Structure 1
Amino acid sequence: METSASEKMVRYERGEVKRDQEALVAVEYPLTIYVNREELVTIVCTPEYLEDLVIGFLTSEGVIRGIQDVDQIEIVESTGHAYVTANFVNKFNAKYRAKRYITSCCGKSRENFYFQSDASLLESFNETSISLKPETIFRLMMDFEEASQTFHRTGGVHNAGLCSAEEVLLTRMDIGRHNALDKIYGYCLEAGMSVNDKIVIFSGRISSEILVKTAKIGCGIILSRSAPTELAIQMAEELGITAVGFIRDETMNIYSRPERILIEN
């Protein structure tokens, strides 16, 4: 399915009006997820890597424990439905989150809040051994941005990626920043990829929700062009995650666990 569409617009530029112009805009696609024939939720997303999104979302939200709980997934793109057959479902989480409509906005539409108890269930990353040189961070961010073609065309999506200490391994984009990370998570689960030596790279703000999703994926370092929130920094410190923001033009801010960034002086 197409992830962008052409729309007519009127452009105003330095006092000049240009009519009947065309602009590429991001596509919004509602996907309704059914688990064992019961409607769970409708997610508004970008229509690609939908199976990764479904698996990542269900696992991240605690509806299932992981890919081992999924017997089958059927995506019907023409109607916007995902049918999941699962051999295990966390009934509490499934009922608690039943029949929600999750918009693509970046506010608190996912959940009223990710409570501290959610983070307390996560693994501490104090033993993460991966480390990065500053020049590696700048190169990874440059490669990540070059791969963000849909953003450059539309300006209307968020981008997330997974890196090793040497290169960007994969990228996913979505109109919803949470969705982009769920697509990364879903891919890792399906591929059985080891992530304890991997890095999350992200285009947007590191909020507490994004920090928790990074922890759930299993990565001990997150890199971003944007800033973290106060709560995200506190949680990163508690969980042992290195959060690096404002990575631009060979500058960066290291907000937590700076020992993993190999600075000489």
Structure 2
Amino acid sequence: MAQPVRTLPGRAIGPSGAREITRALPEEWPVALVYDGTTQAVMMCTPQDLEDFALGFSLSEGMIKGAEEIRDFELVEHETGSECRFWLVAERGQALTRRRRAMLGPVGCGLCGIDSLDQAVRPLPRVGAGPCFDVAEIESATEALRAQQPLHDETRAVHAAGFLLPGQGLVLAREDVGRHNALDKLIGALTRAGIRPADGAFVMTSRLSVELIQKAAQTGCTTLIAVSAPTAHAVRLAEGAGITLAAFARGEGFDIYAHAERIREGETHVA
């Protein structure tokens, strides 16, 4: 497998002139998701935690409904990329064959490889009641995530997704060049650890865009917290799916854009 970070030479130009430099840069690596011998998607990822990514992608994109539908898994490395090979139970494999679509996912994309406009506005499952959070937990969530980003510390060029449990803080985090890939890695890691996304909140270093809402709804997570803004369409989707959106969470307050009932304000007021 390729290394997640490479050190490459460059030339820095600034007010004091030019100088030769080396920089630690994140790698982008093609990862194919293969089900019963058929490639369903090729994504550009940071080449680490690929087992987590493959499982999380499979769950958040509806390729499988649960890990019990996987008969076997193999990670195969090639010189030019990696293959995550799944063998599914017969019923799931047949269902996936019926809905097969070709997808190509460049890093940072919004809706990768959909083949009709209807898929861009497809109905999302409505999440359950979910946990509530104190204001202080939301305010500190992105700072706690910032402390668990070694790749970002090295490269200043990757996103992270973390999982916040009420009363316990941030219990897991994953990094990737793509925000949606980071979330898929987190979903896979949670599943392998036996932790339900419905029991906590996803914390993101990015804006809250449509595909993040879709992945949260698909996996049952009821709250998304981010350091940046949501898009208008993301707010509409979150309202319909019952998901709480807390945005601009940077240590000193935050905005709530959907389903504020899960936030216990007490005497603290959000500006």
TM-score (norm 1): 0.89
Contact 1:162 1:200 in 2 (8 A): yes
Matched, 1:106 2:109: yes
Structure 2 CA distance for partners of 1:176 and 1:12, relative to 1, 3 Å? same
> 1:94 Cα shift?
4.3
Shift of 1:42: 1.7
Match of 2:220 in 1: 218
Which amino acid in 1 is paired with 2:230? Answer: P
Match of 1:150 in 2: 151
Q: Mean alpha-carbon deviation: is it higher for 84-93 or for 147-156?
A: 84-93
Deviations 1:137-184 (A, max 9, x none): 222221111111212321221110111013111101111211111112
Q: What count of residue pairs does the alignment treat as equivalent?
A: 260
Residue 62 (str. 1) matches residue 62 (str. 2):
yes
**CA deviation vs aligned residue, 1:119-140 (integer Å, no higher than 9, x gap):** 1xx1333x22x22222222222
Q: How far 1:97 moved relative to its partner? A: 4.4
**What is the deviation of 1:85?**
1.2
Q: 1:40 to 1:106 in 2, by over 3 A?
A: closer
2:199 counterpart SS class = coil
The one-letter code of the counterpart of 1:253 is D
Is there any run of 5+ residues in structure 2 with no aligned partner, and where? none
TM-fit CA distance, 1:49: 1.3
**2:8 corresponds to:** 7
Q: 2:231 aligns with which of 226, 229, 236?
A: 229
Inter-CA distance 233–242: structure 2 relative to 1 (3 Å threshold): same
Which region of structure 1 is more displaced relative to structure 2, 88-97 or 254-263?
88-97
Question: Which structure 2 residues correspond to residues 1-265 of structure 1 after superposition, within 5 A?
Answer: 1=1, 2-19=3-20, 21-79=21-79, 80-88=82-90, 89=92, 91=94, 93-94=96-97, 96-111=99-114, 114-119=119-124, 122-125=125-128, 127-128=129-130, 130-165=131-166, 166-265=168-267
- What is the one-letter code of the residue matched to 2:107? S
User: Cα offset for 1:96?
Assistant: 4.8
Q: Distance in 2 between matches of 1:12 and 1:117?
A: 47
Amino acid of the structure 1 residue aligned with 2:126: E
In the alignment, structure 1 segments of 5+ residues that lack a partner are none
User: Identity across aligned pairs (percent)?
Assistant: 26
Cα separation, 1, equivalents of 2:97 and 2:161? 26
Amino acid at match of 2:59: T
Cα distance change of structure 1 residues 92 and 190 upon mapping to structure 2, 3 Å threshold: same
* Counterparts in 2 of 1:86 and 1:73: CA distance versus 1, 3 Å: same
111 and 148 in structure 1: CA distance in 2 versus 1, 3 angstrom threshold: farther
**One-letter code aligned to 2:44:** V
CA distance in 1, matches of 2:42, 2:227: 30
1:107–1:195 Cα change, 3 Å: closer
Note closer, same or farther for the CA distance 1:14–1:221 as it changes in structure 2 (3 Å cut). same
Alpha-carbon RMSD across the aligned residues, in angstroms, is 2.1
- CA shift in 2, pair 1:26/1:206, >3 Å: same
Q: Distance in 2 between matches of 1:139 and 1:4?
A: 28
User: 8 Å contact 2:31–2:83 — kept in the other structure?
Assistant: yes
Structure 1 CA distance, aligned partners of 2:114 and 2:137? Answer: 35
CA distance in 2, matches of 1:186, 1:145: 20
Deviation of 1:41 after TM superposition, in Å, equals: 2.3
- CA distance in 2 between partners of 1:40 and 1:242 (Å): 31
Matched-pair contact (CA < 8 Å) for 1:62–1:93: no
